[in-house]
Amino acid sequence: MINKKIVIVEDNSSLNELYTMGFSNAGFEVVSCLDGEKVESVIFKLKPQIILLDIMMPKIDGLEVLKRVKANKSLDCIVVVASNLLNDSIMKEALHLGAIDFLNKSDYTPTEMVKKVSSYLEK
């Protein structure tokens, strides 16, 4: 498992730190963003296999980011949405837009989250 790259989009700085630590410890090359604004350029630069995307964020929300990422065909990556906003319609829309899963952040510790996300890479 060499050169696993992930972009973490999470506006909560503590969670951002936790996930960054978790994925770094697991050997991922991590770039984290605190909002959705620069995600596209970051992805373009890093070319990650996977993105961990929050929904409720300032400026641009997660669904919009997801839309843009999926609209840009040069950015080919798996998007895992992880949010504490458990809303049926948002969940459905996210899955419809192309997210591989919609995870409840509070269900997972960072370690568990790394495991879960890694499982998508293995598939």
Is residue 6 a contact point for another protein (CB under 8 A)?
no
Q: Which stretch binds another protein (CB under 8 A): 40-48, 66-74, 101-109, 115-123?
A: 101-109
Is residue 21 a contact point for another protein (CB under 8 A)?
yes
C-beta closer to another protein: residue 46 or 116: 116
Is residue 94 a contact point for another protein (CB under 8 A)?
no
Q: Out of 111, 115, 119, 121, point to the residue binding another protein (CB under 8 A).
A: 111
| Touching another protein, residues 60-89 (CB under 8 A) | 83-88
Is residue 12 a contact point for another protein (CB under 8 A)?
yes
Q: What CA–CA distances, in Å, run from 36 to 9, 56, 87? A: 7, 10, 20
Residue (of 74, 59, 53) closest to 8 by Cα position: 53
Q: Out of 41, 47, 72, 106, point to the residue binding another protein (CB under 8 A).
A: 106
Min CB(12)–another protein separation in Å: 6
**Contact present, 4 and 117 (Cβ < 8 Å):** no
Q: Out of 7, 9, 15, 63, point to the residue binding another protein (CB under 8 A).
A: 15
Q: What does the DSSP assignment read for 75-109?
A: ---EEEEEES---HHHHHHHHHHT-SEEEEGGG--
Distance between CA atoms of residues 31 and 94, nearest Å: 22
Distance between CA atoms of residues 119 and 66, nearest Å: 20
